[in-house]
Amino acid sequence: MEKVSIVIPAYNEEDRIYRTLEDYFSFFNELKQKRELDFEIVVVLNGCKDNTRGIVEGFNCNELIILDFERAGKGFAVLEGFKDALNRDNNLIGFIDADGATPPAAFYGLIRNIGNYEGIIANRKDKKSKISPKQTLFRRFIGIVFNYVVRSLFFFPHRDTQCGAKLFKKELIEKIVGNLGSSEWSFDVDLLFYSRYFGFKIKSIPTEWNDQKGSKVGKKTPGRMFFSVARLRLIHSPFRFLLRFHQKVLPRKLQVSYWFG
């Protein structure tokens, strides 16, 4: 029986993570009882200042693993979750957002459709995807511009690199985990870059995605996303030396750090 490790990065999610864990444990426990799939959920607390840990600890489940770090950042949290999952007998390793935007049935769709691919990602831009409610104009604008920048810089075929629902076979994570940085905004792009670099095949499929209240996307987000990805492109180019120049010339407060996490 295959086993999947589901990593959930959590930063101040006391208002949303209970419902997410409740839904996922209920759904995947049923699959486990039918001996269709084994699973574990790795919640990675990163810099939480609220009661997220207390809520997560309320789930007294053998399949639950809690990691707690003072450092914040989604990329950092997912990366640490990957490293932890590699210590156990997991065939598949993936991650979702703590807000529950991706329902468990949609994540299970990734598992069922990975097939001969080494990775599979949810694509909210697919016409067959079910998105509810419709995103705000601000969020859609950010998504369109960011996707254009990413595809222009990295020549990805994927139309949605940022959806918080991705799944990979263990051998892919083992190969690339040592190369990944922990940037908050460009982590997904880095993950897909190294997947392609090492010759792994990634599939993109339609998904179901429910927009949640309490989004951490703010006015400063577009700039951070753009500069994070632009810096990542420099890191993976012959012009990497420009980063050293950038760090020497600009005042520290104006430098755009790759390590947002």
Whether 249 is in a domain gets the answer no
How many angstroms from the chain centroid is the CA of residue 90?
18
Checking if the pLDDT of 100 tops 80, the result is yes
Q: 115-124, 143-152, 241-250: which range is least confident on average?
A: 241-250
Stated pTM of the model: 0.86
**pLDDT exceeding 70 applies to what percent of the chain?**
84
Residue 141: per-residue pLDDT: 81
Q: Is 98 exposed, middle or buried (0-12, 13-18, 19+ CB in 10 A)?
A: buried
Residue 126: per-residue pLDDT: 94
Whether 258 is in a domain gets the answer no
Whether 38 is in a domain gets the answer yes
Secondary structure (3-state) at 6: strand
Once rounded to an integer, what is the mean pLDDT over residues 135-157? 84
In this predicted model, which residue has the larger pLDDT, 168 or 153? Answer: 168
Checking if the pLDDT of 242 tops 90, the result is no
Whether 91 is in a domain gets the answer yes
Domain ranges, residue 68? 3-219
Whether 211 is in a domain gets the answer yes
Checking if the pLDDT of 82 tops 50, the result is yes
How many angstroms separate the CA atoms of 78 and 86, rounded? 12
Looking at the structure of the chain, the number of domains it has is 1
Checking if the pLDDT of 227 tops 80, the result is no
Q: CB–CB of 39/92 below 8 Å?
A: no
Whether 256 is in a domain gets the answer no
pLDDT digits (tens, 9 = 90+) for 18-49: 999 999 999 999 999 999 999 999 999 999 99
Helices assigned H by DSSP within 104-220: 104-113, 137-154, 170-176, 187-197
CATH value at residue 34: 3.90.550.10
Whether 251 is in a domain gets the answer no
Mean per-residue pLDDT of the chain: 87
Q: What contacts 1, CB < 8 A, 6 or more positions away?
A: 35, 36, 37, 38
